[in-house]
Every structure is written in structure tokens, then in C-alpha cells.
Amino acid sequence: MAVRMEIALKEHLHDPEGMSLCARIRDYFGWEVETARVIHVLTLDTSLTQDELESVRQEIFTNPVTQESCFGTLARDFDWAVWVGFRPGVRDTAGSVAMEAIAEYLRKPMGTDEVAYTSKLFLLQGTFLERWQVETIARELLANDIIQQWRIHGPSGWKAKDGMGIVLPKVILSHEPSFSEIPIPTDASLAELSRERNLALNPQDIPVIRDYFLREEVLEQRRRVGLSLPTDVELEAISQARSDHCNHNTFRGRFRYLEVETGRMEVVESLFKTCIEAPTLEIQKNRDWVVSVLWDNAGVARFDENSNYSITGETHNSPSNMEAYGGALTGIVGIYRDIMGTGKGARLIAGLYGYCVGPRDYSGSLRPHLHPRRLLDGVVEGVRDGGNKHGVPTLFGNLVHHPSFLGKCLVFVAALGIMPREIGGEKTHEKSPRPGDRIVMCGGRVGKDGIHGVTASSEIYTEHTPAGHVQIGDPYTQKKMHDFLLEARDEGLISFITDNGGGGLSSSIGESARFSGGALVELDKVPLKYEGLDVWEIWVSESQERMTVAVSPEKLERFMALSRLHEVESTVVGHYTDSGKLHLTYGGKTCAYLDLSFFAEDFPQWEFDARWLSPRLRGLTEPVLTEPKDYGALLHALLVRPNICSREWIHRQYDHEVQGGSAVKSFVGRDRDVPSDAVVVRPDLRSRRGLAIAQAVNPVYSLIDTYHMVAATIDESVRRLLAVGARLDEIGGVDNFCWPSVQFDSRLNPDGDYKAAQLVRANFALRDVCLAYGIPLLSGKDSMYVDGHLPGRFGERHKVSGLPTMQFTATGIVPDVNLSVTMEAKVPGDLVYVLGETGDELGGGEYYEMLGYTGCNVPVLSPSRLLPLYAALEKALNRGVLASCHGLYRGGLGVHAAMVAMGGELGIQLDLREVPRKGRLRCDQILFSESCGRFLVTVQPQKRDEVESLLQGLPFALVGSVLDTPELQWIGEDGEIILRETVASLKKSWKHGTL
């Protein structure tokens, strides 16, 4: 019988969740709600007796000190009550934990059909809101109809005893699982089928696929296992394997690149091979610390003689755009699994994030699925719960607001792990399943999660239809699996491991089978969340928190025993073979029988026309500006801008110190609130060796030239690492591209060829700069189709393409963390130097953007000129002669000198006449140019000679000093003070200012 338990804080206690809700209602809509209280609802659909129910209510679910509870309702004296619960099939971790707890308390196993569902009842009090307003709050703040359902109640009609009644979001699929053979008489019929089933097969692939299935020897072999035509399972598997997501068809495509202005033409056969793989292999030759790159779930590099670290990054844009919290949470725990599945498995040591979203205060006429403000709040919380509950420090991150991301947001996630270099004489970065090894699926169960368009295309939508295409990650289950798998690894029980992400088993087993030479999988062995999945759905489901592990038969018993100890579900679903076949069965019948060689068939390369229109051809020019007069107001205005202002509210919510190794935190300075250039951690607490980590992203430069966008972004991340004391010759990189569609279509994508050229140029820069700096790409990913189609005012839809974006994540070794340096000014009287030259390079920068311009002179990187300066800086940092070191990034010297002052809570005087420069520059140009390769450092006067001799012959200058008076002062061209602002007032603008 189903009962509903309500649990709430005792009435006299402050309800922070309710008060936060009032604040958000004010922030989002400008409406007043005096108080809100939250009631937690637990709906139990079990066979527990009355006595059992009563005892679990009191003993488990009610804290006698702070809570009250009942079966019935606690809701009273409200103006409005909003109930929010999950839709059927949405991962309800708290619900399953409740069942675990009940079973534990009653010391009896619960039946598979006994379920607990959690939901919430929000009571709004002291408000004059009308129903439509409450509906708006429910829809736009409390619930997302993709994963949640809600009900609104006024006080009238509320039953004092039963409240809102019982809602059971139970998945009921009255469907007999099966598979079927599908005729493909012509290319056209396969193309039609692809449309119907959402297979998204590329038209060029269709003849290759048909040709394979119609081949006589293939037909003959298939007949022997009882198959003839391709099955739905096979076609779905092929669709997954050939998708751009899995196969990177764009990056492996052929680009006919034309520079329209010069007429220069170049055919690039594969961006991946020429701009990512080739330079990395070249660099690896001279860098023995690069251990494993370009094949595994993450790259592996040497940390010290005992350990390697692994790193990778990806994006989770589309899911986050639909359901921000669940999408981001699933993204961060998903990238963790890549680390857990690299080599024989690594221990997680860091998570990183990057968000690109529309303006927080957007009030235009386009209507994105989620308003940017809500979307950002959701992704921030998703990454928070994923990291915090996994015990992984979330160390660093970025946030960029730009209207182009209204169409689709970007959510970057990255993670690092550490592993011993060898275990039992075997190298941990190597792995391979052997024929005969058992295929074990560990972790969660399989449901209709992440299956493409299933709800839209093939199901009638009912109240019991699983809302599977958007998922909610479960860090608790995954943390248990993480601990279990590391123990199994250390006992030498794992031959091979990989995660189940995109494509599910179809990817993890399909790809690993290529190492052993085949696999036999019994799909009816796969544990399911609920009955009724079709066979192909089991194979391609993207249900989270699962790893696929190869375990040799003699080690299986031990592996399963450990799995039980950790209370992680593990199931043998088949074994690896050397048959050359991917052989799937269901109920003893073969449902797929594909040659592994098929996946390496000669599929045609994707082709793109790429036409580069130079900034001049696009009509970009520099703005005609005179020098501003009120520098004080100007600086304040810059500091409150959404892409400059403090993001402490985000990072404070992230546990960035768990594991105890933090040495340079993301917040530094006397008040611990100014962002650091990079972070440094000690992954091995017994060692002084550290790992520096930084990320950079500068999409606005793409408005001028994506080549320089990428170059400046890599340079920024390198400078960030150098600034905290990382070694220049042990820097690894991870590139994450997010791009709008680059396939030209005169109607749907009329500038597709220009976007393709932007992609080519971005990759050229990646190649050139990585080679120049000697940065191997330890990992990377691309995410295409950053386009959204947003409804407008009149029922029309607008295509909104995100700016071409590449986030670069860089890691560097810090030989001794005791020598790390932070960015804030330390001691009054210290000398202030600017290193590197400032040029007339304000294009795409923050200053121009604020004034409404793009400009034309984007920062141009010249690695060969900068490297000697970087080497000298590294030496100075090693000798401990710099009191602080800070790179100059977005916003330029003006903004970043303010950061150094705010960090130290000390004044800084800058004489702008002394700043090293290229050509004649006005003060505003010196202050707000975003030229690459620059730093601001402070030095104890006694160290002056030593610092200056280290920098001799390089572009640097003494430009001022650290002041006791906490004031920022700028001296202009005529020697007069053009800005004098207290550090406190600047900080107030930066932390609390409004536009």
C-alpha cells in the first residue's frame, strides 16, 4: 500500500531552504513572499505494516531534535502550496537510499516492487501572488517539466488530513522486449529508416552499410547464427559507432580551406591528424614524461617517479541546456568516470568546470528553454553536488556570459586522477582484455536513459512514460564504485576498464572488443531498472554510473567478493573472444553479429568547404575613440561587468580543499576572495611536489579571428601556470572545442563555410602554438552543433549560434610547492614591474565590448618573442625573488592591477609612462589592451638588482610601487594622477556592484 510521509523542520526553526526560495523569487521575478517552508515528502509504495511504517518514520526519517513528521500532511496556514516530484524513471537517489535504510533498519530485504519516492512541498506564506504567478514560480524556478511534475494548491480544497494525496511516478511499460530484422532493399529505404528511428546516419555512410549486409560471405556467416537482414540492434549499434560524438567525423573530415582575400587554398585531410595528433607525437619524442596519449579515455603523464596523473575534459552542453542541474551533474560525474576508466583506473584528484551562458539579466524577446539566470544556477549546483558528494575537490573554473550562448549553453567539465606507475610489475596505463576475460558491468542499472528521441518518436506519452532522455547523476553510487574499483585494481584483478558514457554498452564493449578481437554478450543478463526495455535499448542506453571491466575467469570470484563488500552491483554479461565478431544474444538467440572489421570499413570522409573572410573583408575596423576623462568611473564600470566581477558565490559552494593537498587555492589574498592565476595541489601528501592547473577561455576574440582566439587562450593558460611556479617544460594541455555547425547549407546554415574556416584556423593555431611552446595535447574533445532555435515574439524561430569557443586546460609540474607564488601584493614599498610589451590590441577585449565595439586589432601571439621572458620568469620564481606574480588577462593592466591591489588590500601606484610598449599608445590603450605575454610582479626593493639582471635584455620595466595607503593610483602621460580610487571602493564594485 502506498503512504505519504511528510517531514519538516519544527516550526520555530529557521528554514534556510525556504528563505533561499523567497530570495530567488525576489531575484528572478521581483515578487515578494514573506516566508516559505519546505516539507519533504517520502511516498512509500511498500508492504510494510502499520507498526513498521511508524517505526521507520520515527527512527530513520525524523530527527527528534529538529523535525516533526506524520503520515498525512503538515501543511497548514499557507497561501499557496506547490508540490514538485520527479517524473517516472528519473533517478531518485534519495528514494533508493530510503529503501536501503528501511531494509537495514528492519533487517529484511525489500521486494523489487517496493519503492520509495521523494518529493517536496513548498509552502508560500505572506504573499498576494495570484495563481498564474505561482504557476510561473513552479515552472521557471522550482521544477523543470522534463524531469519533474508539479501541482499547485490554494488553501481551499486542501484536505487537512490527507493534504495533496498520493502520486506514484512508477514506470510501467507494458511491452514485451524483442528484436527484429529490418529490410533495407534500397539506399533510400535505409535513409528513410534512419529518419524514422532517429539513427542520424550520414547519407554517405548508407551505401557502405548496405554493401556490408548484402555481401555474400557476410550473409553466409549470418545465416549460420540464424540471421539474415540487419536487426534493429545492429542498426542502432552502427548509428552510435558512426555518430559524430563517437567518431569525430568533423575533426577527421576533409576541409577545402580558402582564404578569400589572398586566394590561398589548402586542403586539410583531417584536423585531428594534422593539428592534434601529429604535433603531440612530435612533442612527445622529446618529453619522456608524456606517458599515454591519443587513445584512452584520458591522457596520462608522469607526476613523479612513483605516480602518473591522468587528465581529460569534455562538454555536456545539450543535456545541461534542457535540464541544467541534471545535465551538469551528469557531466561532472561522467568525466570522473573517464578518469576511473583510464589505464587500469586512477584515483580522482580534481574536477574543473567552465560555463558559457547568456546574459544573467537577459530580457529580450527570445525565449530559451531555460532563462540564463536559472540555467546558470542549475549548472552551478549540479557541479557542486557532483564534486562535493564524490569527495573530489572542484579546483578551478571559468564563467563567460555572452548572448550567443542563449541558443545553447556550454558546460565544460574536466577531471584529473592519479595512479601508481606500476602495480605488481604491470604498467597501470596499459590495459587490454584477453579472449576469455569476463565482461563485467559494474555500478548502476540500465533504463531508458539517454536513448535518442525515444519518447518523442516511438512512445505514447503517459504519466508512466519514463523521462529518460535527461538524466540526473548519482555521485553516491559512483563514489562507492570508485573506491571498489581502486581496490580491485590494486589487487591486480582488472585486465581492462572503461566507462559507459555516450553509447552505453555499445561503445564500451564495442570498442574494447577490438583489443581482444571479439566479444559475446548476453543482453538478457544486463540488470535493468524496470522491465520492458527493448533489446536495442539495453545495448545503447546511456544510464549513468556504470563501468565495463574485463576480469579474467580465475580472478572473477575475488572481484565479485570485493564488489559485494562495497555494496556495488556487478554482473557478468558476457566474455571477450577472438572471433572477430561482435556477437550479441538475447534469450539464447543471436540479435547482432557484426564483424569488428566493419567498423573500420572505408566509410567516406566528411567534406567541408571552408571560406575564410578576413576581418577586413568582413568590414571590421577599429572604433574612433578619444581618450576618456573619468578613469575612476571607467574602472568601476569594468569591475562590475559580468565577465570581470567576482564569482565567489559560485566557487565558495565547491569543496576545493578535500583530499588535503591544496597549496594555492582558487581564492587568494588577505581576504581570500580574489581569483588566483592557477591552483596548485599536492596529490601525494608525503611529497612536496605539486601539480598546477589552470584553464582559459576567450570566445569573444572569435568575433575577429579564431586563430588568435586559440593562440591567446593557450598563452593565457601557460602564463597562469607560470605565475604560480610551474615548470615551463612540463606543461600538458587539453583542448575542448565547442563550435556551431560547420556544414554549409544555403538555407539552414548560410555561413557554414565561414564557420568551417574558423574551425580550420583555430586548429592551425592549436598546432602552431603547441609546437612552439612544446605542449603535448594530453586529451581533448570536440562538441559541434552549438546552435539553438529559439522562439521569438511572433511565433517565429531564430537560429542562434554560439561563438566558436575553445577552452584550454593546462597542467604543469611544480617541483616544490614551498616555492609557489600567489598574485596579491604583499608588502608596502615593494617595487611593481610589468613584464612583456603592450600593443594596440584591444580588439575583442573587455573595454571595447563595454563601449559597444568589437574592433579589429585582436591580441596577436608571438611565442618566439615571449619564450625567453617566460624562461627568465621561471628562474626568478625558482629563486624566490618575486613577492607576487600575476598575468594580465581579460580587462588588461587596468583591471588586473586592481586585482593585485584588492588581493593584497594594499595600494599600488602605476606610472603608465613607464609601461613597455609597441608603438605610441594612449593611456586607455595601455590600460585596457589585452596583449599576450604580460605579467605584473612585485619585488622587495633589496631584490631589485637580482630581478633586473635576470630579466636583462627582455621587455620589462619598473612601473611603480606598492603603497601603504590602500589606493590605486595611475599616473598619466603628463605625469598627473589620472586615477585615484580606494581599494575598498574598487572591491565593493567588483564584489557587489550592479551595472
CB closer to other proteins out of 738 and 906? 906
Nearer to other proteins, 65 or 624 (CB): 65
> For 227, which DSSP code?
-
Question: Binding to other proteins by residue 655, rule CB under 8 A?
Answer: yes
99 in contact with other proteins (CB under 8 A): no
| Residue 827 makes contact with other proteins by CB under 8 A | yes
Residue in 123, 103, 107, 108 with CA at minimum distance from that of residue 44:
103
The three grid cell numbers given for residue 312, joined into one nine-digit string: 581529460
107 vs 285 by CB, closer to other proteins: 107
Selected binder of other proteins within 47, 49, 50, 66 (CB under 8 A): 66
Q: Give residues with Cβ within 8 angstroms of 669, minimum separation 6.
A: 822, 823, 824, 902, 903, 904, 905
Helix or strand (DSSP H, E) at 211: helix 205-214
Instruction: Decide if residue 103 touches other proteins (CB under 8 A).
Output: no
State which of residues 28, 29, 71, 105 lies at the interface with other proteins (CB under 8 A).
Answer: 105
- Exactly one of 254, 369, 514, 670 binds other proteins (CB under 8 A); that residue is 670
Matching residue, cell 583510464? 342
Pick between residue 298 and residue 679 the one whose CB is nearest to other proteins. Answer: 679
Residue 661 in the binding site for other proteins (CB under 8 A)? yes
319 lies in the site for other proteins, by CB under 8 A:
no
Region of 182-190, 386-394, 433-441, 572-580 interacting with other proteins (CB under 8 A): 386-394
Contact partners, residue 50, CB within 8 Å, separation at least 6: none
In the bound complex, what is the minimum distance in angstroms from residue 374's beta carbon to other proteins? 16
User: Do 413 and 355 form a contact (C-beta atoms < 8 A)?
Assistant: no
Strands in 2-9's sheet, in edge-to-edge order, are 67-71, 2-9, 35-45, 115-125, 80-86, 148-153
Which of the residues 245, 390, 482, 575 is marked catalytic? 245
Among residues 97, 166, 191, 850, the one that binds other proteins under rule CB under 8 A: 97
Residue 104 sits in the site that holds other proteins (CB under 8 A)? yes
Nearer to other proteins, 17 or 630 (CB): 17
Q: Which run of H or E residues covers position 36?
A: strand 35-45
Cell 578535500, residue?
A: 658
What residue has cell string 600567489? 822
Closer to other proteins by CB, 14 or 629: give it.
14
DSSP 688-753: --EEEEEEE--GGGGGT-HHHHHHHHHHHHHHHHHHHT--GGGEEEEEEEE----S-BTTTBTTHH
Cell 598563452 belongs to which residue? 715
Of 166, 637, 658, 850, the residue at the interface with other proteins (CB under 8 A) is 658
Is 84 among the residues that bind other proteins (CB under 8 A)? no
Write the interaction track for other proteins spanning residues 917-956; mark x where CB under 8 A is met and - where it is not: -----------------------x----------------
Spatial distance between the Cα atoms of 2 and 42, rounded to a whole number of angstroms: 10
**Minimal distance, residue 662 CB to other proteins, in Å:** 6
Residue 192 near other proteins by CB under 8 A: no
Q: How far is the CB of 676 from other proteins (least distance, A)?
A: 10
The nearer residue to other proteins, 64 or 795, going by C-beta atoms, is 64
Stretch that binds other proteins, among 72-80, 131-139, 565-573, 891-899 (CB under 8 A): 565-573
Q: Is the dihedral of CA 461, 466, 471, 472 positive or negative?
A: positive
Range 255-284, binding other proteins (CB under 8 A): none
Task: Figure out which of the listed residues 16, 126, 226, 364 binds other proteins, where binding follows CB under 8 A.
Answer: 16
Among the candidate windows 212-220, 387-395, 441-449, 533-541, which touches other proteins by CB under 8 A?
387-395
- Could you say which of 13, 617, 633, 995 contacts other proteins (CB under 8 A)? 13
Our finding on whether 4 is near other proteins (CB under 8 A) is: no
**How many CB atoms within 10 Å of residue 577?**
19
Q: Answer for the pair 264, 258: CB distance below 8 angstroms, yes or no.
A: yes
Report the site for other proteins in 873-892 (rule: CB under 8 A).
880, 883-884
Does the protein bind other proteins through residue 178 (CB under 8 A)? no
27 counts as binding other proteins under rule CB under 8 A: no
* Distance in angstroms (rounded) separating the CA atoms of residues 852 and 625: 12
Cβ closer to other proteins: 577 or 820? Answer: 820
Find the shortest distance in angstroms from Cβ 527 to other proteins.
20
Secondary structure of 84-122 in the HEC alphabet? Answer: EEECCCCCCHHHHHHHHHHHHHHCCCCCCCCEEEEEEEE
Kindly name the residue from 40, 153, 248, 316 that is annotated as catalytic. Answer: 316
CA-angle at 504, arms to 356 and 327, nearest 5°: 25
**Residue 429 contacts residue 521 (beta carbons within 8 Å):** no
Q: Which of 714, 695, 703 is nearest to 758 (CA)?
A: 703
* Residues 674-733 contacting other proteins, CB under 8 A: 680, 682, 685-686
Which residues from 623-652 bind other proteins, rule CB under 8 A? Answer: 652
Map residue 52 onto helix, strand or coil: helix
CA–CA distances in Å: residue 111 to residues 2, 79, 169, 716: 14, 40, 18, 56
Q: Pick from 74, 339, 638, 817: which binds other proteins (CB under 8 A)?
A: 817
Interface pick for other proteins out of 86, 255, 257, 667 (rule CB under 8 A): 667
Single out the segment in contact with other proteins by CB under 8 A; choices: 229-237, 578-586, 817-825, 969-977. 817-825
406 forms part of the interface with other proteins (CB under 8 A): no
Would you say 500 or 563 has its CB closer to other proteins? 563
Contact, 576 vs 516, CB < 8 A? Answer: yes
By CB under 8 A, the residues from 44 to 63 that bind other proteins are 59-61, 63
Q: Does 567 bind other proteins (CB under 8 A)?
A: yes
| Interacting residue with other proteins among 818, 862, 973, 977 (CB under 8 A) | 818
Q: Which is nearer to other proteins, 557 or 973 (CB)?
A: 557
How near is the Cβ of 423 to other proteins at its closest, in Å?
17
662 binds other proteins (CB under 8 A): yes
Among 76, 273, 367, 672, binds other proteins (CB under 8 A): 672
| Range in contact with other proteins (rule: CB under 8 A) among 129-137, 389-397, 749-757, 928-936 | 389-397
Work out how close the CB of 377 gets to other proteins at its nearest, in angstroms, rounded to a whole number: 11
Would you say 585 and 591 are in contact if contact means Cβ atoms under 8 Å apart?
Answer: yes
The reply to whether 388 sits near other proteins by the rule CB under 8 A is yes
Is the backbone of residue 30 left (phi > 0), alpha (psi -120 to 50) or beta? Answer: left
Tell me, yes or no, if 316 is annotated catalytic: yes
In the list 107, 285, 793, 920, the residue contacting other proteins (rule: CB under 8 A) is: 107
Helices (H), 804-891: 846-851, 863-878
Indicate the burial class of 330 (C-beta count within 10 angstroms; 0-12, 13-18, 19 or more). Answer: buried
In a 13 Å sphere around the CA of 671, the CA atoms on its Cβ side amount to 17
Q: Are strands 519-522 and 496-499 parallel, antiparallel or unpaired?
A: unpaired
Please identify which residue in the block is written with the cell numbers 570485493.
562
Cβ neighbours of residue 134 closer than 8 Å, sequence gap 6 or more: 80, 82, 124, 152
Q: Write the DSSP assignment of 489-511 as a string of letters.
A: HHTT--SEEEE--TTHHHHHHHH
**Minimum gap (Å) between residue 671 Cβ and other proteins:** 10
Exactly one of 485, 505, 668, 866 binds other proteins (CB under 8 A); that residue is: 668
For other proteins, give the closer residue by CB, 197 or 886: 886
Taking only Cα atoms into account, the Rg of the chain, rounded to an integer number of angstroms, comes to 29
Catalytic site positions: 245, 316
